[in-house]
Chain A
């Protein structure tokens, strides 16, 4: 516990500075409400059922977009590594799309999928797909030949080699690719909800900001950061368990 407090002690310093700066007049309190007021707004938000409607909408989009990207991306990445025709077809596409800023797709998504859930899910899916494909593909290409030979020697079929050998052998690299995708998914979620939404946490931030309700807006920003942080920690804990064999 002490170690935990020490590690996050810079955060307490920031919270203290945040409280002092607007109160002392160093910063305009209208633009940055003191930390205690933001916390009070946070408490009001947390007991407001409205928050949970927005949070549920965001969470649903997040899980659907990321989940779809992981399933499709891992499958496509491994198949690309394993079957030359798929590699020849898909690899140039991946290389072209990879460096493109995915937020540039927001207008396209609105045009194609409207203003509802689908556009956000589509955007998160597109954004997260590439890091997952690339990490899965690299991992699957790097699987040691002798592991595949050992499985062939035991009598494993081609499909069994993919699911029982290539997939678990690639898992460490795939899981680190998914971590990148997880962080990216929050960026895309919130930015897409700024621009095209009637619900969601990103929409709440934009709505409160436009309405000048800055204490609640900052509270929502902190909440979203907290959710992102908690998701990353939970994901890391899951990874450590899943890769316990690395000793």
Chain B
């Protein structure tokens, strides 16, 4: 694969990134091996792969949470060296602050960005409304269902207005029905709110439904196996019955299947 060229405006450029995972005990494991990848401005890119293929690690590297040991990651032409509010992150297990109410959770980042108080309040309420949680502003996370918690996390992230949205299996901890509803909701939110999105998942159907392109990752060490354009299918809740949608899902499932089997064997 040719080295990707400069990403456009709000895009992400990943060039030759490797990452070695060093557990406190035991031997080092090569998690990512020379990954090069690009996400265009306002593109929705899904990272699809079996468990342990390093797709979450890739996301944490873009987020600036892990040190980039080799290779380069650029977001909007700026090299990533540390976490920053230009990249909003949604984690699988929500990562809400349990001692803060819904409103306080959404407000936290806005306070850190030193927005004027009136504007903070207004923005927080607007995003709580956008994720349909009006009436739960003063509830604590422990009082909410999994789906509601993830909606708070999405509101908290979107309220910061990041140019890039990084989502780490955000619906992976939810039951199947809630997951479907949340996928539809996310499509609705993003339709009004254009962002560059990198979305990590091991759910093929979810990837095709939501993404413009799907990058299939190999079992450990993670490499980009292939990139499939799915922009013309999915995008609405009804799309999943479409013949071309089903074909794309089948194609990707076959692609990822071998990797999942390899991962199961613990290669």
Contact = CB atoms under 8 A, between A and B. Distances in A.
13 contacts: A147-B97, A149-B60, A154-B112, A154-B113, A155-B112, A155-B113, A169-B99, A245-B99, A245-B100, A245-B141, A246-B142, A247-B140, A247-B143
Given A146-B93, A245-B142, A246-B142, A153 B88 contact: yes
Interface in A154-180: 154-156, 160, 165, 168-169, 171
Interface in A50-107: none
B83 A152 contact: yes
Interface residues of B, number: 27
Interface in B92-122: 93, 95, 97-101, 108-109, 112-113
A160 B114 CA distance: 14
Interface of B: 60, 63, 65, 82-85, 87-89, 91, 93, 95, 97-101, 108-109, 112-113, 140-143, 160
Q: Which 6 A-B pairs have the closest CB atoms?
A: A154-B109, A247-B142, A146-B95, A155-B112, A152-B83, A245-B140
A152 B89 CA distance: 11
Given A150-B91, A154-B85, A155-B109, A168 B99 contact: yes
Nearest to B111: A154
Interface of A: 144, 146-147, 149-156, 160, 165, 168-169, 171, 244-247
Contact of A144 (B95, B99, B101, B112): B95
B95 A150 contact: yes
A234 to B, nearest CB: 22
Contacts of B82: 152
A215 to B, nearest CB: 49
Nearest to B141: A245
Contacts of B89: 149-150, 153
Contacts of A168: 97, 99
Contacts of B88: 153
A156 B95 contact: no
Contacts of A154: 85, 108-109, 112-113, 160
A146 B98 contact: no
A153 B87 contact: yes
Contacts of A245: 98-101, 140-142
B95 to A, nearest CB: 4
A154 B143 CA distance: 24
Contacts of A152: 65, 82-83
A149 B141 CA distance: 18
B99 A171 contact: yes
Contacts of B113: 154-155
B95 A147 contact: yes
Contacts of A147: 95, 97
Nearest to B82: A152
A195 B98 CA distance: 47
Nearest to B157: A153
A156 B82 CA distance: 12
Contacts of B83: 149, 152-153
A146 B91 contact: yes
A217 to B, nearest CB: 46
A168 B91 CA distance: 20
A169 B100 CA distance: 10
Nearest to A165: B97
Contact of B97 (A150, A153, A244): A150
A90 to B, nearest CB: 20
Given A151-B112, A168-B99, 15 more contacts: A144-B95, A146-B91, A149-B95, A150-B89, A150-B91, A152-B83, A153-B89, A154-B85, A154-B113, A155-B112, A169-B97, A169-B99, A245-B99, A245-B100, A246-B142
